[in-house]
Structure 1
């Protein structure tokens, strides 16, 4: 589910009949099933993922520059090439945005200028850090960094008020760690190795900056970050939207959290207009001033210096980018080769001026027919949800009424925004990469901070049209599907309906269901956090979803490391509910007529195979480990297994019976909207 900070969702998609340079030879035939990827040595009743994708997995290596390979990555590559073509053919004479796109791209590719400038773009910040005398000055300085690229022990933001979605609310939460909290605190050999690599990376950054005693100083900074991690909340705790909602009047902050100069801090953060502030993790924020004051000033300066160098290392010369890749690419992701520079340049332009690029992308690649059929799919999925609510025997009439109201207020956004973002105030220089990165961060932060006191813009998008992804935003009660996800092979107007409903249909169902998962069901149709469930219905929901926590916690994607069923609960609910509703919507679309048999497969069989192939992928253990500790999604191989094993029509379609590895007794299967 998308929340205040719009966490990314990891979808893996299918590809068309295309030969890809990265080893993805895929043939989806005339209607969307890749028969060449199926491993007939595996019984689908034992493992739907390995059956649908096993042959592809055996013949497809993970490219050296990647931590994973799959349909998402391959489709991403195609999209990057498309965006590269758009960028390189942007005519600077046509518009100011085209000029900025061209200049931003050029600034990343001009390595000679980057090398010549060295650390000059950071000298002012390095001097400011060197002048800090104590923790109080450090906290005041951190406040001024809220609109900067470097991470800090707390981060400020402005988002919709969870209990009043018609208004914006400023907030502050924990941050400042280069790795996920579990990497600092975990005792397994994997985490110990990561900490060793991180300390080496910090020492390397200090050495490149010309500093002495790099090893000892890096160790002291790692120790400080470990203390920060010990004080911070876990990822599971941060999923509790009730606990992370702590709205306090600015006038009362001094009493609630002493130890901060709140007027000075908010002014430094550009939030002087705030009348209230949400405290995401109050206990951490209460401990932070004391923790920093107990830290020697020299260590605080080194920490802030390293946060700065870490943030800008991808935008400095090759020695810096090599150090950055050695840690983040090799140690944490398991990659052996860095990405080509042009791909990094495209990513920066995409992130920095995404909607300006998106406007050009939509004009070239998003067809009216794709939008029309996507609209139809969404309507059918919403209709299937509506019918499912009526058929639930466990939900009371009172709660059903509220659920229907919420569903009726869903706002689908398909393809691209109605109003494009204005980049006129963003300054981009053709020979100032570090400055461009800084100004993009400032532009984005000020766009958010400037919302205080303004009407909520519900038309705004949290993703660009060229993003291969989708999301649900509870504050707006909206489901958003960018143009890039609505393309072959994940979705094609010419594909068999069973395939489209099994792939994009399950995705649409997934996003719709986020409004009714363990977090989303706490928001009403207007986007306000409000309990609209009867106590009995709420208890049933908790009891049933607790079963799902146990189911997924049994998966062990990396030896010694299991899926965290609590962390992944919301996404697992959405996977299961989304597949249930996509199946119902598929049969609604058939209009009561039987689906034709194609290549010996019934419509239901094609539906489930397409679903499993939409999650095709393989990843390095290091990357999967990082996902297990920080990502609310179950790793891809296990997502079709977890969902299909709960859905009765899967058993009927393939004759799954006791003794088969995917068999679950009926009383253990998870059904929420069935």
Structure 2
């Protein structure tokens, strides 16, 4: 399928004149057959908009959830499959060409015969090296070696990124890490789900240690040692809610100062082992976590630390070794997510190719599935949404003119990126062999690490994309002050060149508005137009904004996901603000189009109804209970049913469109509706 966008989107106030004439061909965009028309929209808008689709689309056995996003991702997964298989089959591709490198990577990844024969041979030498470590400094040296060699990332997080208070400069940064389970709570809480997952983790570790030569008793002892270390690391970690505060996680030290705080970690000697030289300053997200590590270096035995490093190699390699390791890895994943069967190898390896050399594969994807005029059409739509957002900011009744001026400066400074990067990564120096699967992954990990640390001392590269072109997603970066839309998301149900404006503004328009709103959510609003963590609010306006965020948090706290599990309003706050601001901005933009100003129905639905139904069908889906329980702890997005209703119940237009009245279950009094952006 070619994603060639026609000259469709016009400036605000203008629409392609043929929308009503195309009514019959547009039935598929808002299909009543997917709805449950027996339900009142004011009682359950999610079920009304998507009830029949949800009933008819259970989660496939190889998935953990299934919805509009997944269906679109499925298209892209198959598109990528075609590209990598074609590249692998092309024997005439020149050495060093994009097609040759992509084809060799995928061929090695799919060579299961060689992978099965090797067993765990590819990591035997790595495991043997750990046995030679003589002391605790040797543990730290080896942890640095594992990181820089692309083998594993033990104990803590290290990366090079923008200085959030001086966004034009890169800094070496330290963060918490070292654990395996999805959240610290799984180590620290004794509810039945946490206990079940810890037991599955213990079994997984025991299995892998046994597969690499330990007796059952030795393996169980090793698993217990690793669990004890990771529990201590989890206890030292900040919670996800604490980590959402950009000021709390901004702790800048000189290397000398931080070495005094954590004497067991002499950063003056450690940083060069991470290939970082000439830096006198370091940014630390959680100093408490590193004082915790410093203490553990004194109390945890050398033997246990060696076992922990051994485990880090095992867990990193397991999905890429022979089937006993892969099966054990899946059994552990299954215990957490409820997934019924393993994802097919071709799909895992296609996605791995995208995740590893995504800007090589991305060039093949863009050439076939994304045409240059698509950028032009998206640029026009982004311009429309920017104008709509400006109208809304100027019309806010709760914000002073002073803060409005700063907000408009930030809005006007947004940098949009669409489809794919202007400058592709070349992966120069990365060796990819046609028969060396695990070595290809190691080479890629080492290459990516070296590419990251060489940014130090250079100007911030503002051309980079944080997602690959086939990705069905979008993002906002507060330090770049940019909104980014990979090629993969520019398809139905988000966008279709043949759809009426109501559908496209309720879909991709709301996505664009969502990413813009992230610049003004509870976290993004703390960054200025240049991407620096710096306050631009008057104290009075800040208090008013925080009052509104508190109310939105309480709205989402009341939503039940599973059993007694509720949405966590504070964890999902940024995304909920993104939805509320984005849908409002998209609606304002839509109302400036010809269709938005008309009452002409298509397939029995008014323009406003189609707008909100388009939004709703984006979030339709099913999810396994196990996955839902995990996502509530780890995902900053609210579940689909509550993204469907969370913003509309605060919009007067939704009430009018569907005649929602007092007594309906979703009804909120006008004075209780949260009006933010």
Which interval holds the TM-score relative to the shorter structure? over 0.9
Matched, 1:464 2:468: yes
Paired residues of 1:471 and 1:511 also in contact (CA < 8 A): yes
Q: Where does 1:164-563 land on structure 2 (aligned, <5 Å)? A: 164-179=166-181, 180-212=183-215, 213=217, 214-328=219-333, 330-563=334-567
Structure 1 counterpart of 2:615? 611
How has the CA–CA distance of structure 1 residues 460 and 93 changed in structure 2, closer, same or farther, with 3 Å as cutoff?
same
Q: CA deviation at 1:456?
A: 0.9
String of CA shifts for 1:603-640, please: whole Å, max 9, x gaps: 11111111000111110011111111111111112111
Unaligned runs of 5+ in 2: 1-23
Unaligned runs of 5+ in 1: 1-26
Moved more, 81-90 or 587-596: 587-596
Counterpart of 2:73 (choices 73, 76, 79) is 76
Q: CA deviation at 1:182?
A: 1.5
Structure 2 counterpart of 1:54? 51
Q: CA deviation at 1:373?
A: 2.5
Q: CA deviation at 1:663?
A: 0.9
Provide the C-alpha distance between the structure 1 equivalents of 2:61 and 2:192, rounded to a whole number of angstroms.
Answer: 24
Matched, 1:123 2:127: no
Moved more, 504-513 or 108-117: 108-117
Paired residues of 1:232 and 1:284 also in contact (CA < 8 A): yes
Moved more, 83-92 or 433-442: 83-92
Provide the C-alpha distance between the structure 2 equivalents of 1:345 and 1:605, rounded to a whole number of angstroms.
Answer: 41
Structure 1 counterpart of 2:34? 37
Paired residues of 1:28 and 1:34 also in contact (CA < 8 A): no
How has the CA–CA distance of structure 1 residues 43 and 85 changed in structure 2, closer, same or farther, with 3 Å as cutoff?
same
String of CA shifts for 1:557-588, please: whole Å, max 9, x gaps: 12122111111111111011111111101112
Provide the C-alpha distance between the structure 2 equivalents of 1:89 and 1:627, rounded to a whole number of angstroms.
Answer: 36
Provide the C-alpha distance between the structure 1 equivalents of 2:257 and 2:194, rounded to a whole number of angstroms.
Answer: 40
Provide the C-alpha distance between the structure 1 equivalents of 2:53 and 2:177, rounded to a whole number of angstroms.
Answer: 40
How has the CA–CA distance of structure 1 residues 380 and 31 changed in structure 2, closer, same or farther, with 3 Å as cutoff?
farther
Structure 1 counterpart of 2:161? 159
Paired residues of 2:26 and 2:498 also in contact (CA < 8 A): no
Q: CA deviation at 1:139?
A: 2.1
Structure 1 counterpart of 2:112? 111
String of CA shifts for 1:300-322, please: whole Å, max 9, x gaps: 12221112111111110001000
String of CA shifts for 1:524-543, please: whole Å, max 9, x gaps: 11111110000001111111
Paired residues of 1:411 and 1:478 also in contact (CA < 8 A): yes
Moved more, 439-448 or 504-513: 439-448
Paired residues of 1:31 and 1:499 also in contact (CA < 8 A): no
Paired residues of 1:31 and 1:496 also in contact (CA < 8 A): no
Q: Secondary structure at the match of 2:407?
A: helix
Provide the C-alpha distance between the structure 1 equivalents of 2:145 and 2:282, rounded to a whole number of angstroms.
Answer: 17
How has the CA–CA distance of structure 1 residues 529 and 664 changed in structure 2, closer, same or farther, with 3 Å as cutoff?
same
String of CA shifts for 1:213-256, please: whole Å, max 9, x gaps: 22232122212211111111110011110011111122322224
Provide the C-alpha distance between the structure 2 equivalents of 1:65 and 1:309, rounded to a whole number of angstroms.
Answer: 24
Provide the C-alpha distance between the structure 2 equivalents of 1:284 and 1:368, rounded to a whole number of angstroms.
Answer: 47
Paired residues of 1:273 and 1:452 also in contact (CA < 8 A): no
Aligned residues between the structures: 646
How has the CA–CA distance of structure 1 residues 430 and 273 changed in structure 2, closer, same or farther, with 3 Å as cutoff?
farther
TM-score (norm 1): 0.93
TM-score (norm 2): 0.93
Paired residues of 2:68 and 2:619 also in contact (CA < 8 A): yes
Q: Secondary structure at the match of 1:618?
A: strand
